[in-house]
Structure 1
Amino acid sequence: MESPFEILGVDPDADDADIVDAYRDRVKEVHPDQGGSVHEFRMVQTAYERIEAGYQPGDPVPDPDPAAGPEPAADDEADEPAEEPAEPPEPDGLRVEYLDYEAIVDQGWSLDDPDLFEAAADADLDEATYGEFYAAEDQPLLEAAEDNDLHWPFACRGGACTNCAVAVVDGEMPSPASHVLPPELFDKGIRLSCISAPVSDDMQVVFNMKHLPEVGELLLPASRFEQARSSE
């Protein structure tokens, strides 16, 4: 049976900072929204809590099956109150829940549907189409997506086209004054992910908005910029 250190993927002599970093990485990997399972998610949480409570290599590892119930207390400890496990740290940054506009079209959904993201969560979509990640403060949304191994469309990366456009369904994402979006698109919540950064703790955005007709009028050929970047 794996020890808490093995579950988090760290050495027993790792320092507190490395353990917290490993916990955050594993939580993202096994989160049900990222293709993991509730069982794996709880195992990671429990492993971190046991390490925080002082687990050492060689200590007995309890049955991870929740149905097994807690271990009985020893006679000399029966009257002692149980220590509360340390609360696992929340992932750093601003939570971004995302959905591909193509999925909205394919599923016959509407961008204005108030239950859009609830429907997406129940639709068994792949991670590239629907999921969540955390963006650092002041980090452009496109950059945050790429840091999480997502491949969203873009071209100029400077606010001069709409290839990277997203629709902000919930939350706030201000935009610099210099961009090509006309007022009517900006008022509808369209933002350019290459130059706009989330400021709300929880965001819901639809990416791949280049397929929206009004947005498509301001597209640029992506290949021109990709070739330029590859030659640098």
Structure 2
Amino acid sequence: MSSPFEVLGVEPDADEATIVRAYRRRVKETHPDQGGSAREFQAVKEAYERIRAGDVDSEPAADDDKPAARRAESAGGGSRDSTSGGAQDSTENRENADRSDTPASGPDADRDAATTSRVEFVNHAVLDDHGWALDDEDLFEKAADADLAPEDHGAFEVEPGESLLEAAERHGFAWPFSCRGGACANCAVLLREGELSQPADHILPEELIEENIRLSCNGEPLTDELQVVYNVKHLPRLESLRLPPGPFEFSRTD
């Protein structure tokens, strides 16, 4: 069986930056949208997680007891139903993900886990049309006064245990995504207020986390109120983390 380093194509003494670059390259190469397979994609994710955890000597736990379809979903494979099925399928995907979340901060960090969260959103695609900028302090006030289409500005509630992307889909919004596993930035959002969890096996570098970029596919609200700008995948600093549009992505044409 190949070692985690062999799976990523790096030497055992590779530094962290080299490992991260190799991981980003390999998840793109093995992604089912790009001609890879669910098994290869999952193997790359598991190899990266083992290297990060320092678990490079022991054998990975066998997952032959999981149904094949379930393993494929956890690797980002499978089709997307643009109505209700996509959100239901992604719930199973999320159950297989690493649930080791980024610690919350702020007054709402210890909120009741059974509490719903309210998310107000703005579509990044409309900013240029109105001469707005991401760092405008009154961005959401401007959006509220601009009579935007429902998909460009609005609000919805996220249920406990539900990712931001799942909640958007449940409410009928077609937000961008590709892998649904934290391995690309197609589903990225910018947090303006509140906090969103981020499982440990995501692809975002620390500098983007510090800039309040999060992934909607596996991030769950940690605060009662959030304001997010979605569809930010075309920001230049996210270019290298995007996957080309595939059969699993359904988003507004920019």
TM-score range, shorter chain: 0.5 to 0.7
Matched, 1:119 2:142: yes
Matched, 1:207 2:230: yes
Q: Is the 8 A contact 2:177 2:249 kept in 1?
A: no
Q: Is the 8 A contact 2:117 2:224 kept in 1?
A: yes
Q: Is the 8 A contact 1:99 1:120 kept in 2?
A: yes
> Alignment length, in residue pairs?
136
Partner of 1:78: none
Q: Assess, with a 3 A threshold, how the Cα gap between structure 1 residues 217 and 168 changes in structure 2: closer, same or farther.
A: same
Match of 2:132 among 90, 106, 109: 109
Residues 57-90 of structure 1, C-alpha deviations (whole Å, 9 max, x = no match):
xxxxxxxxxxxxxxxxxxxxxxxxxxxxxxxxxx
Q: Is the 8 A contact 1:137 1:199 kept in 2?
A: no
Q: Is the 8 A contact 1:145 1:152 kept in 2?
A: yes
State how 1:160-175 maps to structure 2 within 5 Å: 160-175=183-198
Match of 1:129 among 152, 156, 177: 152
Q: Assess, with a 3 A threshold, how the Cα gap between structure 1 residues 106 and 217 changes in structure 2: closer, same or farther.
A: farther
| C-alpha separation in 2, matches of 1:141 and 1:198 | 7
Q: Is the 8 A contact 1:164 1:210 kept in 2?
A: yes
SS of equivalent to 1:143: helix
Give the ranges of 4+ consecutive aligned residues of structure 1 lying more than 6 Å apart after TM superposition. Answer: none
| C-alpha separation in 1, matches of 2:226 and 2:249 | 28
Q: CA deviation at 1:216?
A: 2.0
Paired-residue identity, %: 51
Greater relative CO, 1 or 2 (CA 8 Å, sep 6+): 2
Q: CA deviation at 1:226?
A: 5.5
Amino acid at match of 1:142: L
Matched, 1:153 2:156: no
State how 1:1-232 maps to structure 2 within 5 Å: 93-225=116-248
TM-score (norm 1): 0.56
Partner of 1:34: none
Q: CA deviation at 1:222?
A: 2.9
TM-score (norm 2): 0.51
Partner of 1:72: none
Pairwise CA RMSD: 1.6
Q: CA deviation at 1:177?
A: 1.1
Q: CA deviation at 1:147?
A: 0.1
Amino acid at match of 1:109: W
Amino acid at match of 1:113: D
Name stretches of at least 5 consecutive residues in structure 2 with no aligned partner.
Answer: 1-114
Q: Is the 8 A contact 1:142 1:194 kept in 2?
A: yes
